[in-house]
Structure 1
Amino acid sequence: MNSLTEIAGVLRNSRKVILCGHVMPDGDCLGSVAALGAALEQMGKDVTLASPDPVPEIYGFLPVMGKFLIGEKPLSGEYDTFIILDCSVPERLGKLKSLLERDMVFVNIDHHKGPGDFAGYNYIDDSAAATGEIVMDLIDLLNAGITGDIAVSLYVALSTDTGSFQYENTTPGTLKKAARLMEAGIHSTWININLYEERPLVILRVMEKALENMEISPCGKVAWTSIDKSTLNSMAARDEHTDGLINIVRTIKGVEIAIFFREITSGKFKVSFRSKSRVDVRLLAGKFGGGGHVRASGCVLEGDVDGIKKMVVAAALKEI
């Protein structure tokens, strides 16, 4: 693995850069891409922000969100550097994975524990609460200023990946960085309202259905729910409208592991895991070819939903 100082050196020598994150982008992914992109523009770089999937509407308030190019087709120009953020494996690049076949310098920066060495230059720090923490350190190494727009983007990255600074991955260092961003002039209340208190009504409709489908193990320590594609379609709901539902299930008293099964396409399911305080769900997801963090992880499985549920819940109960 390379040092962050080495990564900074590579970026100083870049001229025309693409930055992107993972499929179904979240706040850490988008905030990190937006912040580092703005810092590189300060340095005179020609910067393109890309995403394999559309930006969820909840992040529409973020600076430069309208600049994101979606998918590979708009990226037909010549670039010398491809920076990949918050993406543990190439498959998470989705439609943009083919960019790895081009003649460019590849830089991978992430905080997920895993192989993470698929680029020419790699920096992985799984002790960081969010990729945004690493990006903030990198911006300092590049001697770029933390402008108001950069501060907002970084704060969103930190807040969303720490559950608004509630999760145990929140460290004194994380809070010091957040304080520094507040000192840069961000309005944290405004950000929090946009992130957590301005949800589309359809999210509550989806939540209602998910709670109807919820089941709890006899021991009361594992709870799970599911939602299929036809239900989402009937509500005119998108995949992004299921974000955060699993965290509601985890709040039930006595529940240690929460599981959410979301149908991606017929017979194919995204399985998300969350734990409260004891179980390392990264290991649980790993049993099914997935990964993630100690308290938040996931995988993708194919087959009959009832069979998948039975298999996954049985594995979860063994972790209790």
Structure 2
Amino acid sequence: MNPNRAAVEEAARFFREHDRFLVLSHVNPDGDATGSALGVVLMLEQLGKEYVVVNEGETPLKFDFLPRFDRLRNLRKQPLTEMFEAVIAVDCADESRMGDVRPLFASGAAVLNIDHHPTNDMFGTVNLVRPEAAATAEILFEVAEEAGIAFNEELALCIYTGLLTDTGGFRYSNTTPRVMEIAARLLTYGVKPGEVAERCLEEITFAHVKILRRALQTLQLSHQNLVASICVSVDDFAEAEAKREDAGGLVNYCRNIEGVEVGVSFVESEPGIVKVSMRARDRVDVSAVAKQLGGGGHAKASGCTVKGTIAEAKQKVWDVLEPALGVKHDE
């Protein structure tokens, strides 16, 4: 018996009770955010509902193999004036992660918040938040079942992509028997796991290689070699002719160094704005660190956005990380 059955039923009812929806995920969307948002779109189509699916900014082209990818609207380039009575937000750890979308919400809009981050601030009028779930896609699978949605290859592909990416290719500690059961079932609908893994986990752009080459020159060990950090500046992006998405995954090079407890990447996406990503082993809950800086996420994978220079962002992170780790930066 699903202990969250009542919440799942309420979410399924939300899909049925409204007619036109705004669907969104978090800024700088990953595979779970994109797969879940497009999974919601496919569910709404089956139910005969209308929708507009948006994100504040670009969605990485590595996910353009997903069905309805071409429907994703970049609000920075394609602003909307319509206001919506019903909103479905997926994989947003808190309201700020939705981006600047509040002007699209009608007064008193009903918001369904489907998420798995423990730092979620319950911003919805209906909240289906399960921190024990490996991915938002795992929760969406249960909503689809409850709503009587017929699974097919397209829907299975979206949900599988969310599971695959948020479990690191089924390698992270959040890979549970339930995750594998769902993944196995999705494969029966024609999902090709090798092709999905190639697009989401293996294939990289040449611009990523150029950014990586520059970033590795900044790699530093600190806090008694328990922390490894890496930096990418606006100038690095310009000289490498790279986009923000080309810097994805750099933090893993830091965290994977033997003996390192916390890996941190500082990516200056635009002057004065630094995206901080953190990955941890066992000693530190980086979601608590990120939350103090206005971000959020999971105990072993979190992030935040800090205003200022990279040097200033580093100091702000160290000020919070040092007491959590119990070691000062210069020790």
Question: Is the CA contact 1:15–1:80 (under 8 Å) kept in the aligned structure 2?
Answer: no
Letter in 1 for 2:31: G
Please say if 1:42 is aligned against 2:46. yes
Question: Is the CA contact 1:222–1:316 (under 8 Å) kept in the aligned structure 2?
Answer: no
Distance 1:245 1:200 in 2: 13
Instruction: Specify the SS of the correspondent of 2:264.
Output: strand
Please say if 1:146 is aligned against 2:151. yes
Letter in 1 for 2:271: S
Please say if 1:174 is aligned against 2:187. no
Letter in 1 for 2:276: V
Q: Which runs of 4+ in 1 moved over 6 A?
A: none
Q: 1:41 to 1:268 in 2, by over 3 A?
A: same
Return the offset for 1:168: 1.0
Please say if 1:256 is aligned against 2:261. yes
Aligned to 1:8: 12
Please say if 1:206 is aligned against 2:211. yes
Give the 5 Å matches for 1:101-112. 101-102=106-107, 104-112=109-117
Distance 1:38 1:51 in 2: 17
Return the offset for 1:263: 1.1
Q: Pick from 106, 111, 118 the counterpart of residue 123 of structure 2.
A: 118
RMSD, matched Cα: 1.9
Aligned to 1:59: 63
Aligned to 1:192: 197
Q: 1:210 to 1:7 in 2, by over 3 A?
A: same
Instruction: Specify the SS of the correspondent of 1:24.
Output: coil
Aligned to 1:17: 21
Please say if 1:221 is aligned against 2:231. no
Letter in 1 for 2:30: D
Unmatched segments (≥5 aa) in structure 2: 326-331
Q: 1:39 to 1:115 in 2, by over 3 A?
A: closer
Distance 2:49 2:144 in 1: 14
Return the offset for 1:122: 1.3
Letter in 1 for 2:68: V
Q: 1:18 to 1:308 in 2, by over 3 A?
A: closer
- Per-residue Cα deviation, 1:261-287 (whole angstroms, up to 9, x for no partner): 111332331111100233211112223
Question: Is the CA contact 1:90–1:97 (under 8 Å) kept in the aligned structure 2?
Answer: no
Question: Is the CA contact 1:38–1:150 (under 8 Å) kept in the aligned structure 2?
Answer: yes
Distance 1:93 1:119 in 2: 12
Please say if 1:163 is aligned against 2:168. yes
Return the offset for 1:184: 1.8
Aligned to 1:95: 100
**Percent identity for Structure 1 against Structure 2:** 31
TM-score normalised by length of structure 2: 0.91
Instruction: Specify the SS of the correspondent of 2:33.
Output: helix
Instruction: Specify the SS of the correspondent of 1:127.
Output: coil
Distance 1:198 1:115 in 2: 31
Return the offset for 1:74: 5.0
Letter in 1 for 2:278: F
Aligned to 2:328: none
Distance 1:308 1:18 in 2: 34
Instruction: Specify the SS of the correspondent of 2:143.
Output: helix
Aligned to 2:297: 292
Distance 2:310 2:225 in 1: 22
Question: Is the CA contact 2:120–2:129 (under 8 Å) kept in the aligned structure 1?
Answer: no
Distance 1:302 1:78 in 2: 30
Letter in 2 for 1:35: G
Question: Is the CA contact 2:160–2:183 (under 8 Å) kept in the aligned structure 1?
Answer: yes
Instruction: Specify the SS of the correspondent of 1:253.
Output: coil
Return the offset for 1:115: 4.5
Greater displacement, 212-221 / 290-299: 212-221
Question: Is the CA contact 2:281–2:300 (under 8 Å) kept in the aligned structure 1?
Answer: yes
- Per-residue Cα deviation, 1:88-120 (whole angstroms, up to 9, x for no partner): 222212132322344532211111123532222
